Amino acid sequence: MSQDKLWWYLLTPALLLDEQLALQQQEQRRQPQVLCENEGQRGRTVVQLNPAAIAAGIQRGMPEVLAQTLAPTLQSRDYDPSRETTVLQRLAQWLHQDIAQIALYPPNGLLFEVAGLRRLYGDYLELEQRLHQRLRRLGVRYVLTAGDSPLMARVFAQAGQSGVVASRSQRQQRLAQINIAQSLLPLVSQQRLQELGIATLGALLKLPEAELGARFGRAILAYLAELKGQLCPPQQWYQPPETFTERLDLLTEVSSWQQLLFPLRRLLQQLEAFLQSRQWSVTQLILCAYHRDKSQTQVTVAFALPLWRQRDMQQLVQLQLERHQLPSPALEIAVQAKTFSAREAQHQSWVAEPHTEKYAQHDLQALLGKLQSRLGEQAIRQAQAQADWRPEAAQLWQPQLSTEAAPADLVRPLWLLPEAQPITLDNWQLQWGPERIQTAWWDTEAVGRDYFIAVDAQQRQGWVFQSQQQWYLHGWFS
């Protein structure tokens, strides 16, 4: 029976609130906070609450008014299931690094098919530890359960029966003790079963199926088949998206990029997970701050070399943001990445001689990226030779590295003035020349110049030319 499938279910009862808490400062986190939802006649009731609220005596399903009386400092916000689903998708993406088959049960549940992972991890214990580790890093409260069918795992989770390491028989025993109220059966069936005195799933499972079917209809038979794993409805496996877009609610208005660095770290962690699961790296990010008046500010962050670690990206983003200012306070922040590249294998060791050149280039790229992030892309450049007769067009300074050589046959100065300076020849002594540089008539900036090397009063050798009866200084030789 070892071929049997095993399902784990992760229930995050307060996912949206936990996500918001993770972004808060320690002190704010200790304040009682709840998320409330409108529930028809009962008015607004508490849906999610943090430990501080629990300590104050607040419970789930309690009217908001009562909760306010119990904790006068209570912070209450709206619960939004669609937003929680977005957070759930993010969670699925985060866990996708470890588990390939994840099905979403919105708004707060994830189902994992783990039997196939046994060979990879050797033991469920290791996988469990890894999941615990990841979830603890996110600061999410959760229940992780195992079942022989998806439904069984979900029932355990609903009942709060945490723990995944157990044998099949232990699971059956546990299942028998589950109260009908936690069975995930429709409310009507629950009531009818309770009226008959069937209080636990164990009692239900003992009854002959044919009679149950005759009495309660086909729905309950389907339920039992699903619970036992005889019937397995197809699962919609989570497909990770091809581009990265994550948005984060800041809860309070933030007026500078500096204050955004902490929430950004979380988004970049997400991005790292996204890249890690695909073995990609990224060279460009778009940071987007959303303001109250629905306007947004975008900052494009480019890296000189492909990155994927949160630490590296954070460092460069931080340097780059020091040059920018937010026009108005931001309510939300987003990170987008659209173009990716496959990673190149890198060796840790520097011993391999033939590759040293490549490593040096890599380090140089890293330096360039760092300088450009802080000083701006145009602050540091390297030249490329261009095939053009006009001296000022014979080179192009670009913010990328180049290793190209330039043609070296012509006598040219070491320096070029950005614009030729008009001079009077009295102060100069012509020594060598002329060299006529003439461009074709179809060029927009036609050039017809006679170049000389001349020495000035300080004995400096300059590159001067005559054009239309006027002398100009264009470069220096030393």
Partner 1 sequence: MAHPLQELVHKGWLWQGREATEQLAPEQFIDSGWPDLNRRLGGGWLRGAVHELQVRCHFQGELALLMPTLVAQQKPCLWVNPPAMPYWPGLAHRQLARAPLWLQERDPKLALWAIEQALKSETLGIVVAWLNKPEAAVVRRLQQVAAKHDQLVFIVTAWQASTEARAYVNRLQLDWQNESLQIAILKRRAGWPLPAFPCAVSSFLPPRRQRSA
Q: State the CB neighbour count (10 A cutoff) for residue 308.
A: 20
Contact call for residue 214 and partner 1 (CB under 8 A): no
Q: How far is the CB of 391 from partner 1 (least distance, A)?
A: 8
Contact call for residue 477 and partner 1 (CB under 8 A): yes
Q: How far is the CB of 344 from partner 1 (least distance, A)?
A: 18
Site string for partner 1, 376-405 (x = CB under 8 A): ---xxxxxxx-----x--xx-x---xxxxx
Quote the distance between the C-alpha of residue 260 and its chain's center: 15
Closer to partner 1 at the Cβ: 123 or 388?
388
Contact call for residue 375 and partner 1 (CB under 8 A): yes
Closer to partner 1 at the Cβ: 66 or 360?
360
Closer to partner 1 at the Cβ: 42 or 311?
311
Whole-number Å distance between alpha carbons of 143 and 157:
6
Closest to 69 (Cα-Cα) out of 78, 56, 60, 79: 56
Position among 367, 423, 437, 447 found at the interface with partner 1 (CB under 8 A) = 367
Closer to partner 1 at the Cβ: 40 or 407?
407
Cis omega before residue 208 (within 30°)?
A: no
Contact call for residue 455 and partner 1 (CB under 8 A): yes
Position among 211, 409, 426, 445 found at the interface with partner 1 (CB under 8 A) = 409
Closer to partner 1 at the Cβ: 214 or 379?
379
* Torsion 410-413-418-422 (CA) sign: negative
Contact call for residue 461 and partner 1 (CB under 8 A): yes
Contacts with partner 1 by CB under 8 A: the residue count is 52
Contact call for residue 478 and partner 1 (CB under 8 A): yes
Q: How far is the CB of 446 from partner 1 (least distance, A)?
A: 21
Position among 453, 464, 465, 471 found at the interface with partner 1 (CB under 8 A) = 453
Q: List residues bridging with 448 in a β-sheet.
A: 438
Position among 408, 422, 426, 469 found at the interface with partner 1 (CB under 8 A) = 408
Q: How far is the CB of 369 from partner 1 (least distance, A)?
A: 11
Question: Backbone phi, then psi, for 105, in 5-degree steps?
Answer: -115, 85
Residues 301-360 that bind partner 1 (CB under 8 A): 360
44 with 62: CB under 8 angstroms?
no
Q: How far is the CB of 31 from partner 1 (least distance, A)?
A: 41
Quote the distance between the C-alpha of residue 264 and its chain's center: 9
Kindly give the pairing relationship between strand 448-455 and strand 461-467.
antiparallel
What burial class does residue 119 get, using C-beta atoms within 10 Å of its C-beta: 0-12 exposed, 13-18 middle, 19+ buried? exposed
Provide CB contacts within 8 A for 409, sequence distance 6+.
none
Q: For residue 215, what are the CA distances in angstroms to 134, 176, 185, 221, 420?
A: 46, 21, 15, 11, 100
Closer to partner 1 at the Cβ: 111 or 316?
316
Contact call for residue 415 and partner 1 (CB under 8 A): yes
Angle, CA 402 vertex, CA 400 and CA 404 arms, to 5°: 155
Q: How far is the CB of 379 from partner 1 (least distance, A)?
A: 6
Q: How far is the CB of 406 from partner 1 (least distance, A)?
A: 4
Q: How far is the CB of 395 from partner 1 (least distance, A)?
A: 4
DSSP code, position 471: E
Closer to partner 1 at the Cβ: 205 or 366?
366
Quote the distance between the C-alpha of residue 190 and its chain's center: 43
Question: Backbone phi, then psi, for 474, in 5-degree steps?
Answer: -120, -20
Closest to 228 (Cα-Cα) out of 137, 174, 348, 147: 147
Q: Write out the E strands in 106-243.
A: 109-113, 143-147
Binding segment for partner 1 (CB under 8 A), chosen from 51-59, 229-237, 442-450, 451-459, is 451-459
Closer to partner 1 at the Cβ: 181 or 417?
417
Closer to partner 1 at the Cβ: 65 or 411?
411
Q: Which chain residues interact with partner 1 by CB under 8 A?
A: 360, 363-364, 366-368, 370-371, 374-375, 379-385, 391, 394-395, 397, 401-418, 431-432, 453, 455, 458-462, 475-478
